[in-house]
A and B are shown apart, each in its own frame.
Chain A
Amino acid sequence: QSVLTQPPSVSAAPGQKVTISCSGSSSNIGNNYVSWYQQLPGTAPKLLIYESKKRPSGIPDRFSGSKSGTSATLGITGLQTGDEADYYCGTWDTSLSANYVFGTGTKVTVL
């Protein structure tokens, strides 16, 4: 059972913008950086955002990340059909034992 909550799905038309929320607590998002991953169907996850708002080389600036308090947000602008995928947030958690936790995952659909 994940400790980070994401909406199950979001959708928008091509060219539009979507945002995905990731809600946690003070033991995880509240005191640690957040990362975001894109998982295209049948493939391994890929890093999109790290340290809450940084993009690895090769990730277009259509993808952005932010964090406030115990929540984080991934934004995707100029939505493309190739963005249809599952998206996961993640961060370190220090509640009972040190471990990494992922969000519940969000399916992005391009209408």
Chain B
Amino acid sequence: QVQLVESGGGVVQPGRSLRLSCAASGFTFSSYGMHWVRQAPGKGLEWVALIWYDGSNKYYADSVKGRFIISRDNSKNTLYLQMNSLRAEDTAVYYCAREGGPYGGNSDIHYFDFWGQGTLVTVSS
């Protein structure tokens, strides 16, 4: 069965960096696009980033562009989110999610068919 397990969350000071990981299993990771989605405490869902199946293309929300970097290691079945210059407004549960659309993310059809359980990132001094 498909499993996505996030790790790397924690408490970090404003301006510092943190790297999240998402370990995937139960499917051919290298064939699927992958996303990060976050949810601030008591708030709605916010999409963060998408990476194609082969890592050749990446897309970011304007709120994180230039600060966050999405990447993947298909040999390790792992997705990453490098978060730099963190701000208080980045405090959220971060979910990794599998792209359900065709062609590993290289299409106009995007949705999230499987989600991890999430990891909490708190940015506070």
Most buried by B among A32, A45, A56: A45
Q: Which of B19-27, B72-80, B81-89, B104-112 contacts A (4 or more CB under 8 A)?
A: B104-112
| 8 Å CB contact of A44 from B35, B46, B111, B118 | B118
A47 CB to nearest chain B CB (Å):
5
Known: A2-B44, A45-B45, A45-B112. 18 other contacts (CB 8 A): A35-B110, A35-B112, A44-B115, A45-B95, A46-B115, A47-B100, A47-B112, A50-B113, A51-B109, A56-B113, A86-B44, A90-B111, A91-B110, A96-B62, A99-B59, A100-B110, A102-B44, A102-B46
Q: Does B9 contact A (CB under 8 A)?
A: no
Could you give 15 example pairs across A and B, Cβ below 8 Å? Answer: A2-B44, A35-B111, A35-B112, A44-B95, A44-B115, A44-B117, A45-B45, A47-B113, A47-B114, A50-B111, A86-B44, A97-B62, A99-B62, A100-B47, A102-B47
Q: Number of A residues whose C-beta is below 8 Å from B?
A: 28
Number of A-B contacts (CB under 8 A): 69
A32 touches B108 (CB 8 A): yes
With a CB–CB cut-off of 8 A, which chain A residues contact B61?
99
With a CB–CB cut-off of 8 A, which chain B residues contact A102?
44-47
Q: Number of B residues whose C-beta is below 8 Å from A?
A: 25
With a CB–CB cut-off of 8 A, which chain B residues contact A111?
none
Majority secondary structure, A binding face: strand
**B15-44 with Cβ < 8 A to chain A:** 35, 37, 44
Interface residues of chain B, those whose CB is within 8 Å of chain A, are 35, 37, 44-47, 50, 59-62, 65, 95, 100, 108-118
A37 touches B108 (CB 8 A): no
With a CB–CB cut-off of 8 A, which chain B residues contact A46?
115
Render A24-45 as a binary contact track against B, CB cut-off 8 A, 1 for contact: 0000000011010101000011
Q: Which residue of chain A has its CB nearest to the CB of B110?
A: A92
With a CB–CB cut-off of 8 A, which chain B residues contact A2?
44
